[in-house]
Amino acid sequence: MALSRIKTGIFGVDEIIGGGVPQGRIVLVTGGCGTGKSIFALQYLFFGASELNEPGVYVTFDEMPDKIREDMAVFGWNIKALEDSGKIAIVDATSARAGSPSEEEHAVLPGQMDIDRLFVEIMSIARNIGAKRIVIDSVPAMAFRLDNPSDIRKNILKLAYVVSRSGLTALITSEVPEQPLSSNTALRFSKYGVEEYVADGVILLNFLGVGGASSTRTIYIRKMRGTNHTTEIHPIDITDKGIVVKKIEDVFK
Ligand SMILES: Nc1ncnc2c1ncn2[C@@H]1O[C@H](COP(=O)(O)OP(=O)(O)OP(=O)(O)O)[C@@H](O)[C@H]1O
Ligand SMILES: [Mg+2]
- Domains of the chain listed by start with CATH number: 25-201 (3.40.50.300)
**Has residue 241 got a pLDDT over 90?**
yes
Using the mean position of ligand 2's atoms as its centre, give its distance from the Cα of residue 149 in Å.
22
Pocket test for ligand 1, best of 30, 39, 243 (most atoms within 8 A of CB): 39
Query: Tell me, what DSSP letter sits at residue 84?
Result: H
* Average pLDDT of the residues in 83-89: 98
Residue of 11, 35, 58, 203 to mutate, ligand 1, most atoms within 8 A of C-beta: 35
Q: What is the pLDDT of residue 117?
A: 85
Q: How confident is the model at residue 95 (pLDDT cuts 50, 70, 90)?
A: confident
Mean pLDDT of the chain: 91
Task: Name the pLDDT band for 213 (thresholds 50, 70, 90).
Answer: low
Checking if the pLDDT of 252 tops 60, the result is no
Mean pLDDT of 75-94: 97
State the closest ligand 1 atom to the C-alpha of 205, by its place in the atom list counted from 1. 21
Count of CB atoms situated within 10 Å of the CB of 140: 18
DSSP letter for each residue of 89-150: EEEE-HHHHHTS---SSSB--GGG--HHHHHHHHHHHHHHTT-SEEEEE-HHHHTTT---HH
More confident residue, 138 or 96: 138
**39 CA: nearest ligand 1 atom:** 18
Distance CA 66, CA 53 (A): 23
Average pLDDT over residues 182-209: 91
For residue 37, which of 47, 46, 26, 28 has the smallest C-alpha distance? 28
- How far away, in angstroms, is 33 Cα from ligand 1 center? 8
Q: Residues 191-216: what's their mean pLDDT?
A: 85
Per the model's pLDDT, the better-predicted residue between 166 and 208 turns out to be 166
Q: How do residues 1-58 score in pLDDT, each as one tens digit?
A: 789 999 999 999 999 999 999 999 999 999 999 999 999 999 999 999 999 999 999 9
Locate the ligand 1 atom nearest the alpha carbon of residue 33 and give its number: 25
pLDDT tier at 113 (50, 70, 90 boundaries)?
low
Q: What per-residue confidence (pLDDT) applies to 214?
A: 47
Cα(1) to centroid(ligand 1), Å: 38
pLDDT exceeds cutoff 90 at 234 = yes
CA distance 101 to 32: 29
Give the distance (Å) from ligand 2 centre to CA of residue 30: 10
